């Protein structure tokens, strides 16, 4: 068992070193990198669609799409005429900094302001691997239940902001917003929480406002 | 890179050997083991609540609750007065056969018919680790979108049945049942699909009927 933990530590150390390199490269070019992490189907791609629609006139946006297989999410985003690179992990449960480093050269970093990374749909492993991002956004949907911060604390500890998506489904679920807020505050007090619906657009103005502040 | 793959293969081989031992032990006692895998919040615990309510008079049921941290799910199931063991993975993204093997002695296998395992909420890693189960149930909810079989094919290839949960939310989502069925059929033709709502109970009769057949 100690053997496995040691190997894991080596992998994480190497990942951290490469993440630091990526972060330095992006800082030199003044590019903000946002690592979006959620369960499968919580709405990462729909959030990116809305964000591109709102901000792509204002900022030069690029996207890295992490997916186990297929380019379905990337194809949904093609209409915004922005650079998109797909990383297929072929079974891998998370992106790592080495895969990010490899594709960074595909972007013209001199002409980029924000690089969004859509991680593999997984609430566990992606939160353990730094990519070189400026911050992580934890995205969770009302349909998943209010117990996610308590049950998957690492992501909510690591994230700098939380979006609670699918608030349009609230009336049809037993999601308890007070319980959610309370569990979240226990793990990460004062973290910004954006309740929103990426389908209807409700609540997204606060997210856009917050992203604008991060680019200053 | 080849190094990492080799280590991974060793871990999987050791896991497979232990899974075979577990499967043999359970077969000797005529216990059916069902490994339930889904994203966080797709409804595994609610399915188990409904299943215990319906079947615990008919079968001697036991449950292994896999969770990263907390015993929240186990506490929801306590009211059925059945043996429940919690495995906290402390950050681990899946259960493995070694952890199952360790807790098997906590059950009186001579007085057990069905052992349900609720895996860690994760659509990726749990499908790579056999536990010694008779079969995997893939659980997915309409709120997650219809693209999950295409985007996370391994689970849907490995599973022997699929439950599509939260059909009560169908009218409020853009979930396309035909697209879901078609993608699923491409990956695993003829796999039984149970559309259901574990909250309202709609559609669960088919699942109960199917589970009864598996115990014969």
The whole-angstrom distance between residue B84's C-alpha and the CA centroid of its chain comes to 15
- How far from A24 is each of A52, A96, A109, A116, A118, CA to CA, in Å? 25, 16, 12, 17, 20
Answer yes or no: is pLDDT of B146 > 50: yes
Closest Cα in chain B to A150: B70
Tell me the C-alpha distance between B92 and B127, whole Å: 14
Q: Which residue has the higher pLDDT, A65 or A11?
A: A65
pLDDT of residue B156 exceeding 50: yes
pLDDT for position B216: 85
Residue B2 has pLDDT above 70, yes or no: no
pLDDT, mean over chain A: 95
Chain A interface, best mutation among B124, B167, B179, by max A CB count within 10 A? B124
Residue A106 — very low, low, confident or very high, per pLDDT cuts 50/70/90?
very high
The span from the CA of A212 to the CA of B3, in Å, is 43
Q: Using CA atoms, how far apart are residues A129 and A140, in angstroms rounded to an integer?
A: 19
Nearest to residue A8, comparing CAs of B90, B97, B55?
Answer: B90
pLDDT higher than threshold 50 for residue A1: no
ipTM over 0.90: no
Residues 130-149 of A with CB under 8 A from B: 141, 143-145, 147-148
Contact B117, B100 (CB under 8 A): yes
Please compute the mean of the pLDDT values over residues A93-107 and round it to a whole number.
Answer: 96
Grouping H, G, I as helix, E, B as strand and the rest as coil, residue B61 is strand
Sign of CA dihedral A33, A120, B163, B28: negative
pLDDT at A8: 74
Q: Which residues of A touch B91 (CB under 8 A)?
A: 124, 128, 154
- Helices B97-104 and B2-28: crossing angle in degrees, nearest 10, is 30
Nearest residue of A to residue B167, measured between CA atoms:
A172
Across the interface, do B124 and A68 touch by the CB < 8 Å criterion?
yes
pLDDT tier for residue B86 given thresholds of 50, 70 and 90: very high
Is residue B64's pLDDT more than 70?
yes
Q: Which of B9, B69, B73, B152 to mutate to test the interface with A (most CBs of A within 10 A)?
A: B152
Residue A151: closest C-alpha in chain B? B69
Distance, in Å, from the CA atom of A62 to the CA atom of A112, rounded to the nearest integer, reads 7
CB contact under 8 A, A174 and B144: no
From CA B20, how far away is CA B173, in angstroms rounded? 41
Strand ranges of the sheet holding A32-38, from the earlier edge strand across to the other edge: A84-88, A61-67, A114-118, A32-38, A135-141, A161-165, A193-195
- CA atoms of B201 and B51, how far apart (whole Å): 10
């Amino acid at each position: 068992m100690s053997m496995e933990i040691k190997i894991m530590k080596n992998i994480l150390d190497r990942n951290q070193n490469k993440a630091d390199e990526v972060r330095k490269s992006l800082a030199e070019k003044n590019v903000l990198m946002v690592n979006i992490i959620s369960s499968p189907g919580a709405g990462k791609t729909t959030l990116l669609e809305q964000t591109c629609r709102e901000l792509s006139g204002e900022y030069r946006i690029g996207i890295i799409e992490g997916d186990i297989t297929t380019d379905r999410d990337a194809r949904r985003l093609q209409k915004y005429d922005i650079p998109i690179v797909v990383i297929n992990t072929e079974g891998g449960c998370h992106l790592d900094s080495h895969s990010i480093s490899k594709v960074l050269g595909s972007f013209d970093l001199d002409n980029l302001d924000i690089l969004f990374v859509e991680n593999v749909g997984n609430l566990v492993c992606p939160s353990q691997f730094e990519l070189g991002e400026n911050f992580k956004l934890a995205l969770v949907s009302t349909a998943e239940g209010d117990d996610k911060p308590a049950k998957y604390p690492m992501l909510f500890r690591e994230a700098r902001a939380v979006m609670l998506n699918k608030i349009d489904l609230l009336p049809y679920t037993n999601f308890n917003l007070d319980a959610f807020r309370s569990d979240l505050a226990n793990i990460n007090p004062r973290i910004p929480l954006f309740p929103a619906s990426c389908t209807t657009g409700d609540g997204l103005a606060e997210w856009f406002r917050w992203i604008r502040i991060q680019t200053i």
